[in-house]
Chain A
Amino acid sequence: MSEPWEEEGPGTIKKFMYVNRKAPYGTIYALESLEVVLIAAAFEQDVSMAFLDDGVYQLKKGQDTQGIGMKNFSPTYRALEGYDVEKLYVEAESLAERGLSEDDLLVPVEVMGREALAELMDEQDVILSF
């Protein structure tokens, strides 16, 4: 079944960046943002995800949510590649401030400095932050 928005034919391809600045579980933003990214993949836009500030905690290895009775959605980040969402950018300064390194992350990402990330943000057409 085709959705109405799919019937418009091939249109403009915009650069969409999803900016993640919040940690998982304390609030629902990380989980519901991920749901947007998965849906958005079907639109064949130029999609990227940025993780900065507490957003880097979303990608921390070894999340175990059994004790809090919430679903561990972190494996979904590993599934993104299957949705052709391959541009995951993590800010180096945000990692360092939190005593984390690339080895602490559960999925391959591109770690970049604040300035480079700012440059990338500037190139976007649509920036969605949750």
Chain B
Amino acid sequence: MKYGILVNEGPYQHQASDTAYQFAQALLDKGHELFRVFFYHDGVNNGTRFAVPPQDDRNITARWSEMAEKHGVDLVICIAAAQRRGLLDEGEAKRQGKDGNNIAPGFRISGLGQLIEAGIQSDRLVVFGD
């Protein structure tokens, strides 16, 4: 079965990102396909490579990046939400005249259309939020 996931909350602040990750891992373990994880609202903060959690804590961003690398999961950060919250990839940084970018490996920034497409393409869209 083909899945899409929507994450609406920031990492560490709310359990939504963790639950979404555990759910994603479980569905991959069962041999399902994860079409896309879309990060919206504060959920975009899942994708900053500048976060440095304490060593004895989980690294939420790195965990997603590893999943993307291992399973080819498409991790999409909403551009509108990202712009509000200071999440930038190289192209966006250049376009907005910012002096750096902070997006983590495996993530990409794109439009809200990617969420709708995930809803259309997936057999199930599962939302994790506050």
Contacts and interface: CB of A to CB of B under 8 A. Distances in A.
Interface stretch (B19-27, B95-103, B112-120): B112-120
Contacts of A116: none
A128 B120 contact: no
Contacts of A45: 116, 119-120
Q: Which 4 A-B pairs have the closest CB atoms?
A: A39-B112, A126-B119, A5-B117, A40-B116
B111 interface: yes
Nearest to B42: A28
Nearest to A40: B116
Interface size class of A (residues with CB under 8 A): 20 to 34
Interface size class of B (residues with CB under 8 A): 10 to 19
Contacts of B6: 128
Interface of B: 6, 8, 40-41, 80-81, 111-117, 119-120, 125, 127, 129-130
Interface in A108-130: 126-130
Interface stretch (A9-17, A59-67, A76-84, A92-100): A9-17
Contacts of B113: 3, 5, 39, 42-43
